[in-house]
Amino acid sequence: MRFILAKDATDVSQKAYDFIRKSILQNPSLTLGLATGSTPLELYKLMINDYKRGNISFKNIRTINLDEYVGLPEGHPQSYRYFMDYNLFNHIDIDKNNTKVPNGSAIDLNKECEDYSSFISKNVQDIQILGIGSNGHIAFNEPGTSFNSSTHIVDLKESTIKDNARFFDNETEVPKKAITMGIKDIMGAKMIILLATGSSKAEAIYRAIKGPITEDCPASVLQSHPNTVILGDHTASFWIRVNREPD
Ligand code: F6R
Protein backbone atom coordinates (compact mmCIF):
# COMPACT_ATOMS: atom_id res chain seq x y z
CA MET A 1 0.00 0.00 0.00
CA ARG A 2 1.30 3.40 -0.98
CA PHE A 3 0.12 6.58 0.71
CA ILE A 4 0.33 9.90 -1.13
CA LEU A 5 -0.24 13.14 0.73
CA ALA A 6 -2.10 15.65 -1.40
CA LYS A 7 -2.65 19.33 -0.66
CA ASP A 8 -6.41 19.47 -0.97
CA ALA A 9 -9.40 17.84 -2.68
CA THR A 10 -8.40 19.24 -6.06
CA ASP A 11 -4.91 17.79 -5.74
CA VAL A 12 -6.34 14.39 -4.66
CA SER A 13 -8.57 14.36 -7.76
CA GLN A 14 -5.80 15.49 -10.10
CA LYS A 15 -3.39 12.85 -8.81
CA ALA A 16 -6.08 10.16 -9.17
CA TYR A 17 -6.84 11.31 -12.69
CA ASP A 18 -3.13 11.25 -13.61
CA PHE A 19 -3.09 7.49 -12.84
CA ILE A 20 -6.32 6.89 -14.75
CA ARG A 21 -5.35 8.99 -17.75
CA LYS A 22 -1.96 7.33 -18.14
CA SER A 23 -3.56 3.88 -17.90
CA ILE A 24 -6.25 4.68 -20.49
CA LEU A 25 -3.67 6.05 -22.90
CA GLN A 26 -1.79 2.75 -22.53
CA ASN A 27 -4.93 0.61 -22.69
CA PRO A 28 -7.93 2.40 -24.26
CA SER A 29 -10.26 -0.50 -23.42
CA LEU A 30 -9.47 -0.82 -19.75
CA THR A 31 -12.00 -1.60 -17.04
CA LEU A 32 -12.51 1.08 -14.44
CA GLY A 33 -14.27 0.45 -11.14
CA LEU A 34 -16.17 3.56 -10.05
CA ALA A 35 -17.67 4.94 -6.86
CA THR A 36 -20.45 7.40 -6.11
CA GLY A 37 -20.54 9.83 -3.17
CA SER A 38 -19.15 13.33 -2.94
CA THR A 39 -15.44 12.47 -2.95
CA PRO A 40 -14.99 11.41 -6.61
CA LEU A 41 -17.10 14.27 -8.05
CA GLU A 42 -14.09 16.45 -8.78
CA LEU A 43 -12.32 13.53 -10.43
CA TYR A 44 -15.32 13.04 -12.72
CA LYS A 45 -15.21 16.74 -13.62
CA LEU A 46 -11.56 16.38 -14.60
CA MET A 47 -12.44 13.42 -16.83
CA ILE A 48 -15.23 15.43 -18.49
CA ASN A 49 -13.04 18.51 -19.02
CA ASP A 50 -10.21 16.48 -20.47
CA TYR A 51 -12.64 14.79 -22.87
CA LYS A 52 -14.23 18.09 -23.87
CA ARG A 53 -10.83 19.54 -24.66
CA GLY A 54 -10.32 16.63 -27.04
CA ASN A 55 -7.41 15.20 -25.09
CA ILE A 56 -8.83 11.77 -24.34
CA SER A 57 -11.52 9.34 -25.40
CA PHE A 58 -13.43 7.00 -23.09
CA LYS A 59 -15.16 5.31 -26.01
CA ASN A 60 -13.74 1.87 -25.41
CA ILE A 61 -13.47 1.72 -21.65
CA ARG A 62 -15.76 -0.39 -19.50
CA THR A 63 -16.91 0.72 -16.05
CA ILE A 64 -18.23 -1.24 -13.08
CA ASN A 65 -19.78 0.57 -10.14
CA LEU A 66 -19.52 -0.42 -6.52
CA ASP A 67 -23.11 -0.29 -5.36
CA GLU A 68 -26.75 0.69 -5.75
CA TYR A 69 -29.77 1.17 -3.52
CA VAL A 70 -32.39 -1.56 -3.56
CA GLY A 71 -35.91 -0.67 -4.61
CA LEU A 72 -35.62 2.83 -6.06
CA PRO A 73 -37.63 3.13 -9.26
CA GLU A 74 -35.62 3.37 -12.49
CA GLY A 75 -34.51 6.93 -13.15
CA HIS A 76 -34.88 7.99 -9.48
CA PRO A 77 -32.57 10.98 -9.01
CA GLN A 78 -31.02 9.42 -5.90
CA SER A 79 -30.18 6.13 -7.59
CA TYR A 80 -26.51 5.56 -8.20
CA ARG A 81 -27.23 4.84 -11.87
CA TYR A 82 -28.72 8.32 -12.16
CA PHE A 83 -25.76 9.77 -10.24
CA MET A 84 -23.26 8.21 -12.68
CA ASP A 85 -25.21 9.26 -15.78
CA TYR A 86 -25.68 12.79 -14.48
CA ASN A 87 -22.17 13.35 -13.11
CA LEU A 88 -20.10 11.51 -15.70
CA PHE A 89 -21.49 9.22 -18.38
CA ASN A 90 -23.80 11.77 -20.06
CA HIS A 91 -20.84 14.11 -20.63
CA ILE A 92 -18.24 11.80 -22.14
CA ASP A 93 -18.13 9.51 -25.17
CA ILE A 94 -18.47 6.28 -23.19
CA ASP A 95 -20.77 3.58 -24.59
CA LYS A 96 -23.43 3.27 -21.88
CA ASN A 97 -23.82 -0.42 -22.74
CA ASN A 98 -20.36 -0.78 -21.24
CA THR A 99 -21.26 0.86 -17.95
CA LYS A 100 -22.39 -1.48 -15.23
CA VAL A 101 -24.19 -0.52 -12.02
CA PRO A 102 -25.87 -3.21 -9.89
CA ASN A 103 -29.58 -3.47 -10.65
CA GLY A 104 -31.30 -2.66 -7.37
CA SER A 105 -34.70 -3.31 -8.96
CA ALA A 106 -33.91 -6.86 -10.07
CA ILE A 107 -36.74 -9.25 -9.25
CA ASP A 108 -34.27 -11.90 -8.12
CA LEU A 109 -31.71 -9.94 -6.13
CA ASN A 110 -29.67 -13.00 -5.16
CA LYS A 111 -29.23 -13.86 -8.81
CA GLU A 112 -28.27 -10.25 -9.54
CA CYS A 113 -25.55 -10.52 -6.87
CA GLU A 114 -24.22 -13.80 -8.27
CA ASP A 115 -24.24 -12.43 -11.81
CA TYR A 116 -22.51 -9.23 -10.75
CA SER A 117 -19.66 -11.06 -9.00
CA SER A 118 -19.30 -13.43 -11.91
CA PHE A 119 -19.19 -10.47 -14.31
CA ILE A 120 -16.45 -8.85 -12.23
CA SER A 121 -14.37 -12.03 -12.20
CA LYS A 122 -14.50 -12.03 -16.02
CA ASN A 123 -13.91 -8.25 -16.31
CA VAL A 124 -11.38 -7.57 -13.59
CA GLN A 125 -11.01 -3.90 -12.76
CA ASP A 126 -7.71 -2.52 -14.04
CA ILE A 127 -8.23 0.35 -11.63
CA GLN A 128 -10.84 0.49 -8.86
CA ILE A 129 -11.68 3.92 -7.43
CA LEU A 130 -12.85 3.93 -3.82
CA GLY A 131 -14.05 6.45 -1.28
CA ILE A 132 -14.07 5.63 2.43
CA GLY A 133 -16.71 6.00 5.12
CA SER A 134 -15.83 7.67 8.40
CA ASN A 135 -16.21 4.22 10.01
CA GLY A 136 -13.79 2.69 7.49
CA HIS A 137 -16.42 1.22 5.16
CA ILE A 138 -15.64 0.67 1.49
CA ALA A 139 -18.57 0.43 -0.93
CA PHE A 140 -21.46 -0.57 1.39
CA ASN A 141 -19.24 -3.04 3.24
CA GLU A 142 -19.72 -1.88 6.80
CA PRO A 143 -17.51 -2.91 9.75
CA GLY A 144 -17.90 -6.63 10.39
CA THR A 145 -18.28 -7.60 6.70
CA SER A 146 -16.30 -10.70 5.78
CA PHE A 147 -13.15 -10.07 3.76
CA ASN A 148 -14.29 -13.06 1.73
CA SER A 149 -17.58 -11.44 0.66
CA SER A 150 -18.69 -11.26 -2.94
CA THR A 151 -21.53 -9.02 -4.20
CA HIS A 152 -24.33 -9.11 -1.62
CA ILE A 153 -27.36 -7.34 -0.22
CA VAL A 154 -26.86 -5.23 2.89
CA ASP A 155 -29.26 -3.79 5.41
CA LEU A 156 -28.22 -0.18 5.72
CA LYS A 157 -27.22 0.93 9.19
CA GLU A 158 -29.37 3.50 10.94
CA SER A 159 -26.42 5.94 10.83
CA THR A 160 -26.05 5.51 7.04
CA ILE A 161 -29.81 6.04 6.54
CA LYS A 162 -29.60 9.21 8.63
CA ASP A 163 -26.49 10.42 6.73
CA ASN A 164 -28.20 9.87 3.38
CA ALA A 165 -31.55 11.37 4.42
CA ARG A 166 -30.26 14.80 3.34
CA PHE A 167 -30.58 13.70 -0.28
CA PHE A 168 -34.24 12.64 0.06
CA ASP A 169 -37.39 14.57 0.88
CA ASN A 170 -37.57 12.78 4.21
CA GLU A 171 -35.89 9.93 6.07
CA THR A 172 -38.68 7.41 5.38
CA GLU A 173 -37.87 7.61 1.67
CA VAL A 174 -34.28 6.44 2.13
CA PRO A 175 -33.96 2.81 1.00
CA LYS A 176 -33.22 0.35 3.80
CA LYS A 177 -31.16 -2.00 1.67
CA ALA A 178 -28.44 -1.80 -0.93
CA ILE A 179 -26.57 -4.12 -3.22
CA THR A 180 -22.80 -3.86 -2.94
CA MET A 181 -19.68 -5.28 -4.46
CA GLY A 182 -18.08 -7.50 -1.83
CA ILE A 183 -14.61 -7.05 -0.40
CA LYS A 184 -13.29 -10.01 -2.39
CA ASP A 185 -14.63 -8.40 -5.62
CA ILE A 186 -12.83 -5.16 -4.75
CA MET A 187 -9.58 -6.89 -3.79
CA GLY A 188 -9.47 -8.63 -7.17
CA ALA A 189 -8.77 -5.28 -8.88
CA LYS A 190 -5.30 -4.92 -10.38
CA MET A 191 -4.91 -1.48 -8.87
CA ILE A 192 -6.97 0.30 -6.21
CA ILE A 193 -7.00 4.06 -5.68
CA LEU A 194 -8.75 5.24 -2.54
CA LEU A 195 -9.56 8.94 -2.29
CA ALA A 196 -10.07 10.64 1.05
CA THR A 197 -10.80 14.29 1.69
CA GLY A 198 -11.83 16.20 4.80
CA SER A 199 -11.26 15.80 8.51
CA SER A 200 -14.20 13.39 8.97
CA LYS A 201 -12.08 10.76 7.20
CA ALA A 202 -8.89 11.27 9.24
CA GLU A 203 -9.49 8.53 11.80
CA ALA A 204 -10.58 5.99 9.16
CA ILE A 205 -7.50 6.77 7.06
CA TYR A 206 -5.22 6.20 10.02
CA ARG A 207 -6.89 2.88 10.86
CA ALA A 208 -6.87 1.80 7.21
CA ILE A 209 -3.14 2.46 6.84
CA LYS A 210 -1.61 1.92 10.27
CA GLY A 211 -4.18 -0.07 12.19
CA PRO A 212 -4.44 -3.84 12.37
CA ILE A 213 -5.95 -5.61 9.37
CA THR A 214 -9.36 -6.33 10.77
CA GLU A 215 -12.94 -6.68 9.59
CA ASP A 216 -13.77 -3.96 12.15
CA CYS A 217 -12.20 -1.53 9.66
CA PRO A 218 -13.02 -2.83 6.16
CA ALA A 219 -10.52 -0.48 4.45
CA SER A 220 -7.65 -2.03 6.46
CA VAL A 221 -7.87 -5.04 4.10
CA LEU A 222 -6.20 -2.82 1.48
CA GLN A 223 -2.90 -3.24 3.36
CA SER A 224 -2.79 -6.75 1.92
CA HIS A 225 -3.49 -5.64 -1.66
CA PRO A 226 -0.39 -5.65 -3.91
CA ASN A 227 -1.10 -2.35 -5.68
CA THR A 228 -3.13 0.13 -3.66
CA VAL A 229 -2.62 3.88 -3.55
CA ILE A 230 -4.30 5.96 -0.87
CA LEU A 231 -4.60 9.62 -1.75
CA GLY A 232 -5.39 11.79 1.24
CA ASP A 233 -5.69 15.54 1.44
CA HIS A 234 -4.12 17.50 4.27
CA THR A 235 -7.06 17.17 6.66
CA ALA A 236 -7.94 13.55 5.91
CA SER A 237 -4.27 12.72 6.53
CA PHE A 238 -4.07 14.48 9.88
CA TRP A 239 -3.35 11.42 12.07
CA ILE A 240 -0.96 9.99 9.50
CA ARG A 241 0.92 13.29 9.38
CA VAL A 242 1.25 13.61 13.15
CA ASN A 243 2.00 9.88 13.24
CA ARG A 244 -0.01 8.91 16.28
CA GLU A 245 -3.24 7.13 17.00
CA PRO A 246 -6.41 9.23 16.90
CA ASP A 247 -7.44 10.51 20.36
C1 F6R B 1 -19.94 5.01 -2.94
C2 F6R B 1 -19.57 4.15 -1.83
C3 F6R B 1 -19.26 4.65 -0.45
C4 F6R B 1 -18.57 6.01 -0.42
C5 F6R B 1 -18.27 6.44 1.02
C6 F6R B 1 -17.73 7.85 1.08
O7 F6R B 1 -20.21 4.25 -4.10
O8 F6R B 1 -19.54 2.99 -2.03
O9 F6R B 1 -18.49 3.71 0.22
O10 F6R B 1 -17.38 5.93 -1.15
O11 F6R B 1 -19.44 6.36 1.79
O12 F6R B 1 -18.73 8.74 0.64
P13 F6R B 1 -18.42 10.28 0.38
O14 F6R B 1 -17.47 10.32 -0.77
O15 F6R B 1 -19.75 10.89 0.04
O16 F6R B 1 -17.81 10.80 1.64
> Do residues 226 and 4 lie in contact, with contact meaning Cβ atoms separated by under 8 Å?
no
Buried b (16+ CB within 10 A) or exposed e, 122-131: eeebbbbbbb
Q: Please report, for the chain, the start and end positions of each structural domain, with discontinuous segments joined by +.
A: 25-192+213-224
Nearest one of 152, 60, 41, 149 to 99, comparing CA atoms: 60
Q: What are the catalytic residues?
A: 67, 135, 137, 142
DSSP string, 75-97: T-TTSHHHHHHHHTGGGS---GG
Q: In terms of DSSP bridges, do strands 67-69 and 177-180 run parallel, antiparallel, or are they unpaired? A: antiparallel
Residues of the chain with pLDDT under 50: none
> Do residues 155 and 221 lie in contact, with contact meaning Cβ atoms separated by under 8 Å?
no
Centroid of ligand 1 to alpha carbon of 226 (angstroms): 22
Is residue 37 left, alpha or beta, with left meaning phi > 0 and alpha meaning psi from -120 to 50? Answer: left
**Which ligand 1 atom is the nearest neighbour of the CA of 131?**
10
Residue having the nearest C-alpha atom to atom 15 of ligand 1: 37
User: Which pLDDT score, from 0 to 100, does residue 238 have?
Assistant: 97
User: Which pLDDT score, from 0 to 100, does residue 99 have?
Assistant: 98
Centroid of ligand 1 to alpha carbon of 198 (angstroms): 13
Q: Which residues line ligand 1 (CB under 6 A)?
A: 35-39, 66-67, 131-133, 137-140
Per residue in 135-165, pLDDT tens?
A: 999 999 999 999 999 999 999 988 788 878 8
Question: What class has domain 25-192+213-224?
Answer: alpha beta
